[in-house]
Amino acid sequence: FPSLEDLFIDELPNLKGLFKDQRTELFPRLRNMSIYDCPKLMLPCLPSLKELTIKRCNEDVLSTISNLSSLISLDVEQNEEVVSFPEEMLRNLTLLESLAIERCTKLKVLPTALANLTSLESL
């Protein structure tokens, strides 16, 4: 999919990966991705991804976000079971400018790694 820039994945509760072979070359131009109701999905390294929305997923999906070092905007919504974000989630997101956390009703604490997001402009 050399020209794909936007990808929307919805209600695939057993999906574990995008392909058997999780090579990054499969999506060289992917810029925007939305994932809804895919609790088992693990994100591969997507070097060109700039915007990500994750809705109704679990903590395992969140832990793979650290692979997305070009991410500028992250929106985490309606993740009802998440009590805390994995510390590694924000580790490599040095370019992140916008982080939105909405309707995560059980969330008790934000990760301390937020303090390291020097490009963050909107929370």
User: pLDDT digits over 54-97, tens only?
Assistant: 998 877 788 888 889 999 999 999 888 888 888 788 888 999 99
Say if residue 88 is exposed, middle or buried (CB neighbours under 10 Å; 0-12, 13-18, 19+).
middle
Which of 121, 123, 117, 72 is CA-nearest to residue 102?
Answer: 123
Q: Please, are residues 94 and 113 in contact by the beta-carbon 8 Å criterion?
A: no
Q: Measure the CA angle with vertex 9, ends 112 and 20; round to 5°.
A: 90
Q: Where are the domains of the chain?
A: 6-116
Model-wide pTM > 0.85 = yes
